[in-house]
Amino acid sequence: MITSIVVIIAILGGAGVGYYIRRNHVYKGLATARNAADKIKDDNQVKIDDTKRKLESKSKASAEQYRKEEEGELNAQVKENQSRTVRVDHREKSLETSIARLDKSEAALATKKNNNGLLVENLKKARNDVVKLEEQRRQVIHERGELTEDQAKQLVLASLEADLKRDFDTTVKENNDLVTLNAAKQAQNLMIEAVQSGPIDVPRDHIERSVIIPDAGMRAKIAGKDDQRLRLIETLTGVDLIFDPENPETLIISTNDPVRREITRNSINDLLAIKQVNNGVIENEVNQTQQDVLDELRKTGEMTVSHLHLGWVHPDLMKTVGRLKFRTSYGQNVLEHSVEVAELSAVMAAELGLDVRMAKRAGLFHDIGKAIDREVAGTHVELGVKLTEAYDEDPIVINSIASHHGDVEPDNPYAVLVAVADGMSGARPGARSESVEEYINRLKSLEKIANEHPGVKDSYAIQAGREIRIMVDPKKVDDAGSDELTNEVKDQIEDELTYPGKIKVTTIRQLQAVQYVGGKPKNNKKKKAG
């Protein structure tokens, strides 16, 4: 029992001691927590004070910046208001000036209106006076001539008609005189404008009439044994092939047909590139080249028509246009010449307000007859007219072809333009030129004609063949004979040669008579030792 009591007392004592210890520990923890909370509170208060001071400083700076911005904006608005005030003042002054001008104009218009009213009144009065005078005139004529009123009216009308006709004739004559006076100048300006705005001059390729074969082996390959292959090519192409006696390297293609010449030249050039040449190869090559050239003619015609924007043209006529590519006239390529004439005619037609496409069409076809004049008898004008009539071309085109050389009178302005453009294209500097071969042959022909006449010592073709100077023996040809010789050479050149422009023929006869007084001068030259 006592033991139980002791145990209970011990337990109660331990519990009390433990409670005491626990309480002391809790009190210490609370004190520590209270101290920490006070420290945190103090630190937070410091931070709050710092933040407060920073915010106050920042607020002051922001307020100052805002105050400055507001002041700047207010100053800008003040300046803008001042500028607007100035502009408003200027506008008010401008409006006042405009109102003053309007008032002045209104007053002037009112004055003019009044003047016009007076003029109208005067005009009405004048008309009434005219009517009264006419009435009086009819009455006087009626009274003096014992005419009826209708007869008097007819007499007055006849008189007025005569006056009007006289005035009309005078005006027409003045206009005709003015047009006649300025026509040459205006035509010259129109042609200059056409040349400046027309086609661009480009270097022209001369049509080759020979083939150069420098290698003897190649010449033998083309000619064959006894020139049999040359004869075969001649049979297939319809040309004559001759090696130049003075220059064996040159194979001359002799024919008047430019298409055959081109086929032959291309065939020979292709055969030169083939290793083995025989009759079969020659026939195949000539046939293929012939087809290629014909295709090229068609393509050239199509490209020319397309370039000039002529619209629809008959396919056969386009192929005929392509044939002009290999045709020359005084060294000028006929196709390029025809295109130039078309473009020059178009420029002049545009200046005159005419149909540009019709002018181009007439200009392109004006020399179409030259494409077939080597095959068909007749002049190129006659052949061109027949050809375009066969393909139902416009009568304007046909008349332009027929009249461009003056064979018939032009019946439309396009024909006149084509004739003018034809002359401009052919006569301008550099339009017509010759190949070196043609140039040399022409010079030789001129000198040969001069040297054939008796009494001629020598002759010289100068200035690119535009002048021939003939030196005669003064003992055989007198002054009258010199004149006669000059005329004979001139006539022979006109009959036998084809030449562009003019050729001047000059005969020079110089006689020098020399005699010595006191004997002839001695020759002081020493003889060389033998």
* 203 or 428, higher pLDDT: 428
User: Quick one: pLDDT at residue 200?
Assistant: 53
317 and 421 share a domain? yes
Least confident of 164-173, 195-204, 341-350: 195-204
User: Quick one: pLDDT at residue 148?
Assistant: 67
CATH number at residue 222: 3.30.1370.10
Of 296, 318, 344, the one marking the end of a domain is 296
> How far, in Å, are 171, 173, 188, 190, 307 from residue 177 at the CA level?
10, 6, 18, 20, 42
290 and 313 share a domain? no
391 and 495 share a domain? no
* 215 inside domain: yes
Of 296, 323, 346, the one marking the end of a domain is 296
Reported confidence tier of residue 524, pLDDT bands at 50, 70, 90: low
Rounded CA-CA distance 357/365 in Å is: 12
User: Quick one: pLDDT at residue 528?
Assistant: 43
* 403 inside domain: yes
214 and 292 share a domain? yes
> What burial letters (b/e) apply to 138-163, b meaning 16+ CB within 10 Å?
beebbeeeeeeeeebeebeeeeeeee
Residue 283: count other Cβ atoms within 10 Å of its Cβ.
14
Reported confidence tier of residue 428, pLDDT bands at 50, 70, 90: low
Mean local confidence (pLDDT), 202-222: 71
pLDDT at 193 over 80: no
Rounded CA-CA distance 246/210 in Å is: 14
CATH number at residue 378: 1.10.3210.10
Biggest distance spanned by C-alpha atoms of the chain: 207
* 230 inside domain: yes
- For 3-60, write each residue's pLDDT tens digit: 777 777 777 777 777 777 777 777 777 788 878 888 888 888 888 888 888 887 777 8
- For 286-334, write each residue's pLDDT tens digit: 899 889 888 888 898 899 888 888 888 888 888 888 888 888 777 678 8
Mean local confidence (pLDDT), 343-356: 86
Rounded CA-CA distance 228/220 in Å is: 11
* 522 or 243, higher pLDDT: 243
CB-side exposure of 356: number of CA atoms within 13 Å?
12
Rounded CA-CA distance 413/398 in Å is: 13
Angle between helices 395-403 and 413-427 (to 10 degrees): 40
Q: In what order do the strands lie in the sheet with 250-254?
A: 210-212, 250-254, 240-243
314 and 423 share a domain? yes
Contact present, 361 and 412 (Cβ < 8 Å): no
pLDDT at 194 over 70: no
* 112 inside domain: no
Rounded CA-CA distance 427/148 in Å is: 71
User: Quick one: pLDDT at residue 146?
Assistant: 61
Please give the share of the chain, as a percent, with pLDDT higher than 70. Answer: 86
pLDDT at 122 over 60: yes
User: Quick one: pLDDT at residue 144?
Assistant: 60
236 and 346 share a domain? no
User: Quick one: pLDDT at residue 189?
Assistant: 66
Structural domain harbouring 496: 436-509
> How far, in Å, are 253, 255, 282, 286, 474 from residue 264 at the CA level?
8, 10, 11, 7, 51
* 225 inside domain: yes
461 and 376 share a domain? no
- For 369-407, write each residue's pLDDT tens digit: 888 877 788 888 888 899 899 988 899 999 999 988 888
CATH number at residue 495: 3.30.70.1350
214 and 183 share a domain? no
pLDDT at 498 over 70: no
* 365 inside domain: yes
Mean predicted lDDT score pLDDT of the chain: 80
Secondary structure E strands in 289-419: 328-329, 332-333
Please give the share of the chain, as a percent, with pLDDT higher than 90. Answer: 2
Reported confidence tier of residue 438, pLDDT bands at 50, 70, 90: low
User: Quick one: pLDDT at residue 6?
Assistant: 73
Reported confidence tier of residue 440, pLDDT bands at 50, 70, 90: confident
What φ, ψ does residue 9 adopt, rounded to 5°?
-65, -40
User: Quick one: pLDDT at residue 399?
Assistant: 92
Of 296, 327, 344, the one marking the end of a domain is 296
Q: 332: helix, coil or strand?
A: strand
Nearest to 281 by CA among 293, 271, 292, 291: 271
pLDDT at 137 over 80: no
pLDDT at 108 over 80: yes
What residues does 210 pair with on adjacent strands?
252
* 108 inside domain: no
Mean local confidence (pLDDT), 267-290: 86
Work out whether strand 456-462 and strand 504-508 pair parallel, antiparallel, or are unpaired.
Answer: unpaired
- For 220-246, write each residue's pLDDT tens digit: 888 878 778 888 888 888 888 888 777
Amino acid at 83: S
Q: How many domains does the chain have?
A: 4
- For 55-94, write each residue's pLDDT tens digit: 877 778 777 888 788 888 888 888 888 888 888 888 888 8
* 116 inside domain: no
250 and 183 share a domain? no
375 and 450 share a domain? no
237 and 174 share a domain? no
Reported confidence tier of residue 156, pLDDT bands at 50, 70, 90: confident
336 and 417 share a domain? yes
Reported confidence tier of residue 211, pLDDT bands at 50, 70, 90: confident
